[in-house]
Chains A and B, each alone.
Chain A
Amino acid sequence: MKLKLLVIPALLASLLGCEEKEVAKKIEVEKPKPVYVSTYQPLGSEEFVITNATVLVGNGERHENTSVWVKSGKIKGVGQTLQYPKDITIYDGKGKWVTPGLIDVHSHLGVYPSPSHEANEDGNEMTEPVTAQVWAEHAVWTQDPGFDLARAGGVTSLQILPGSGNLIGGRGVTLKNVPSITVQGMKFPDAPHALKMACGENPKRVYGSKGRAPMTRMGNVAGYRKAWIDATAYKEKWDKYYEAAEQGEEKDKPKRDLKLETLAEVLRGNVLIHNHCYRAEEMAVMIDVAKEFNYEISTFHHAVEGYKIADLLAENNICAAMWADWWGFKHEAYDSVRENVAMVDKANACAIVHSDSAIGIQHLNQEAAKAMAAGNKKGLSLKPEDAIRWITLNPAKSIGLSEKVGSLETDKMADIVLWDQNPFSVYAKAEKVFVDGALTYDRLNKQKNPVSDFDLGIVDPQGERL
């Protein structure tokens, strides 16, 4: 009723037949509020500096004998002659390496947690092919011991995605890899949501086998297009409602539709598309679907054939998130080459190494190392400072957070890993992991590391699982 009162001056003006052109009084309508908001608080950090380390910045730079200074949870400086206060904590980085906290753009931790069993499978709402209304964060089990294991591997941020059984599987969420009883307590503040889409075999198998659409890749694309047509109409309806309010015109408020609302947010550029898509020609078709409906694709995930269309990816500013070497589990994953990541990178496209695995996420550095070595064996000269981008700044860009994380640059969040040696080695271990400057994992002081509820007392009532 509050809204109606506001309308009155405008109505009066028109009833009185005023001739002079009046600016219609804007109607204040309720805009969607942020919901399921992040309650994440940095765990509390002291000011510290890591000295004399080999620093991989994340943006392609490498600095030897360099210090990284952290204050109030932010990078205060990176350099050889920093003027930090003498009384802050100093970690000797001699012989050690420092990188940004690793970022995995494709994880199902919490939605397909360990222990893996049917009752814990919460990533695929395979009841209809378009379920843009579901949100991964509503299913994340924060006690998944995989979070702790990933942290020990240096992962500080991760995007949790719904699965690929549907054409449009739902919203993904980016988390800070910190212990938390609630998922809100892990949510990366102000990170854009993802929308998971899937090409190829999975959706057509899931629904085709039920005698429903999509049964073919044709049906897949028809399904996306129908969804975007509906979303476009929905968005227009709301746009008109808001525009009318701007013009002082009262209109009935459209009814919210969760599915279309998410899709409309993509069209508005607020939700980023993360598209599971293996084959080159399917990626090319998806690029055209995006053009048809005026949305952007952030990233193709599992882009096993990224190397075939690396130029298209670069041209369209689309990241490719890839495994180092997985192949052959499906026909669409048959044309894998071990140089895929390096070849996409070589074409100046945004190359990312992702895990899609609760084991792989613990060894993202090794996965990147293999991809680097494969490229070098073929004649490239990729260095650690190049390959680190695949698991730091490029994934940060993919999830819309490259202004905040992904590189060790002043004023960015102090998500940092101190490695005991060159991280592009099978022997390398994350020795200390900082999230927003807070020491969240310390290999040398395991008693202080967080332990999930799951781990507690489950092996030995009086001891720890690990």
Chain B
Amino acid sequence: MRLIKIGLTCLGVSVLSSVMTSQNVLANNQSNISANKNYLIKNATLHTATAKGKLNNADLLIRNGKIAQIGQNLTAGSNVKVIQAANKHVTPGLINASTNLGLVEISAVSSTVDAATKMPGAGASFDIAAAINFRSTLIPQNRINGLTRAIVMPRSSNSIFAGQGAAIALHSTMQGILSENVLQAASYGASGAGKSGGSRAAAMQKLAQALEDARYLRKNENRYLPGFKWEFSQSIADLKALYPVLDKKIPLVISANRADDILRLIQLAKTHRFNLVISGGGEAWTVAKELADAKVPVIIDPIRNLPSFESLSIRLDGAFKLYQAGVKLLFSGGGSHNAYLVRQSAGNAVAYGLPPEVAIEAMTINTAETFGIANYGQLEVGMDADVVVWDGDPLEVTSNPDVVFIQGQKQPLVSRATRLRDRYWELKGNHQQAFKRQ
């Protein structure tokens, strides 16, 4: 609950609506939203990311930060701004299932990077949320390009457990923190082996031992007296950080690519009774049935198709094949600076067979469901109004957002990059002119 305290100190108010998924939920300040205008988007193609799929020529009303109504021929009423959107498309604001947003400003400038720690003893207990910088220039640059939410992952360093990830909305204030500790991240495959003396076998042992120790500790915590010498494979803090995994309150996201690695992780999840999410998944499609049977979602960047020795089978229709087998897809892509390019990755998955509405679900509701982000991810009455109006097919590389709402707040389509662009747009050789304030 210490986290909630931080939230309250910074933000003042606690709120009704959002997200209370796990025990560590930050207040979601909506004080600004109440002052917001209401909006009616008219005559758009709505990609709902619900069972209703795509609605043509439909209207969507945003009121008090929420999606208040969806239908045809809705009337605006007083105090509602109308957005004409004929020939335009509307999706939920997109989410990228694996980013370091707020943890990196310039990748090669280490003082601006907080994604990983080499601190001894910081494994599963490493909680990335405290480092997220909502004033980062990456936040507006992604926001104006249609990304309204992100999963922020810790990056693995020395420990096989990378730590706890968070869910954010792309506000430029602390208001953006939605949910700390929505996941625990770990490494398997070559990366996990590298953190385990060089063999996957040791990595598997380490993962299994940690889970076993955590379960034992939780069961027997009260039997030990203060000062007792604990003998466990991980620090007490790290083992305690695995409790929510054991309770299935949060998933354990394990990076793996090789088919046999994935099969062994499915087995590990069965044995130790946790919710597994595979991230990477280069060869996941070759074991799609097993993943589907075990209900294991996969975080995948579908544009990635370069073979490595643990991703020999990787291919552009991998996401499609996973979908065909019934695996839930969560899309990542574009790194952090261009996390919005998850959309291009998704478009490529569609080019290789994935139904477009499934691709949109993989950038919205699937990720929300997997990480317990409530009230977000669909165009559905009652949801937070994370809504993007696109000037064309939302999966198309030539499309761009016309309007972006996050929790009902209309976002200015301005970033540092657009400021630079505007400064130099009409320069015509006058280099002095550039430095004037706009």
Contact of A359 among B107, B304, B308, B347 (CB under 8 A): B304
* A311 to chain B: closest residue by CB: B429
Q: Which chain B residues border A114 with CB–CB below 8 Å? A: 306-308
Tell me whether B438 is interfacial, beta carbon within 8 Å. Answer: no
Stretch in B245-253, B289-297, B309-317, B375-383 touching the partner:
B309-317
The interface-forming segment of A61-69, A127-135, A365-373 is A365-373
B193 beta carbon closer than 8 Å to chain A: no
Q: Is the CB of B397 within 8 A of A370?
A: yes
Interface string of B323-338 (1 = CB under 8 A from A): 0000000000000111
A458 touches B420 (CB 8 A): no
Which chain B residues border A117 with CB–CB below 8 Å? 308-309
User: A72 to chain B: closest CB distance in Å?
Assistant: 34
- Closest residue of chain A to B304, judged by CB? A359
The reply on B350 being an interface residue by CB < 8 A is yes
Chain A 363-388 per-residue mask, 1 if CB under 8 angstroms from chain B, else 0: 10010011011100110000000000
| Residues of A contacting B: mostly | loop
Instruction: List A contacts of B105 (CB < 8 A).
Output: 328
Known: A114-B307, A458-B312, A466-B315. A337 touches B421 (CB 8 A): yes
Q: Does B341 contact A (CB under 8 A)?
A: yes
Report whether B107 and A378 are in contact in the complex, using a CB–CB cutoff of 8 Å.
Answer: no
Report the bound CA distance from A341 to B428 in whole Å. Answer: 16
Q: How large is the interface on B (under 10, 10 to 19, 20 to 34, 35 or more residues)?
A: 35 or more
Q: Which residues of A contact B141 (CB under 8 A)?
A: 327
A325, B424: Cβ atoms under 8 Å?
Answer: no
Question: Which residue from chain A places its CB closest to the CB of B401 in the assembled complex?
Answer: A377
CB-nearest residue of chain B to A308? B424
> Which residue of chain B has the shortest Cβ distance to A360 in the bound complex?
B303
A328 touches B337 (CB 8 A): yes
Given A325-B341, A328-B107: A369 and B397 within 8 A (CB)? yes
Judging by beta carbons under 8 Å apart, are B306 and A146 in contact?
yes
Q: Are B417 and A336 in contact (CB under 8 A)?
A: yes
Pick the contact of A429 from B341, B351, B396 — CB < 8 Å? B351
Q: Determine if B347 and A426 form an interchain contact, defined as CB atoms under 8 angstroms apart.
A: yes
Chain A 427-454 interface residues, beta-carbon cutoff 8 Å to B: 427-429, 454
Most chain B CB within 10 A, of A307, A343, A427, A466, is at A427
B397 CB contact (under 8 Å) in A327, A343, A378, A425: A425
Q: Which residue of the partner chain A has the closest CB to B283?
A: A459
| Known contacts A329-B107, A329-B108; A359/B421 CB under 8 A | no
Q: Count the A residues whose beta carbon is within 8 Å of the partner chain — how many?
A: 50
B338/A326 in contact, CB under 8 A: yes
- Distance in Å from the Cβ of A334 to the closest Cβ of chain B? 6
Known: A327-B337, A424-B398, A426-B396. A378 touches B425 (CB 8 A): yes
Are the C-beta atoms of B307 and A465 separated by less than 8 Å? yes
Residues of chain A with a CB closer than 8 A to B210's CB: none
Instruction: Determine whether the beta carbon of A115 is less than 8 Å from that of B309.
Output: yes
Report B188 CB to chain A, min CB distance, Å. 18
Chain A hits for B137, CB < 8 A: 328
Chain A proximity of B350: nearest CB distance (Å): 7
Q: Which of A116, A334, A338, A427 contacts B350 (CB 8 A)?
A: A427
A311-B427, A335-B420, A424-B398 are known; give 16 further A-B pairs, CB within 8 A: A115-B307, A308-B424, A327-B337, A328-B106, A337-B418, A337-B424, A343-B424, A358-B306, A359-B306, A366-B344, A370-B398, A377-B391, A426-B395, A426-B397, A465-B307, A465-B312
Interface, chain B (partner A; CB < 8 A) = 104-109, 137-138, 141, 303-309, 312-313, 315, 336-338, 341, 344, 347-348, 350-351, 391, 395-400, 417-418, 420-421, 424-425, 427-429, 431, 434
> Can you identify 16 A-B contacts, CB atoms within 8 angstroms?
A115-B306, A308-B424, A326-B338, A327-B337, A327-B417, A328-B106, A330-B107, A335-B420, A337-B417, A337-B418, A339-B425, A358-B306, A366-B344, A366-B397, A372-B398, A425-B396
In the A-B complex, the 10 residue pairs with the smallest Cβ-Cβ separation, listed nearest first, are: A426-B347, A328-B337, A373-B398, A337-B421, A311-B429, A329-B107, A330-B108, A114-B306, A115-B308, A426-B397
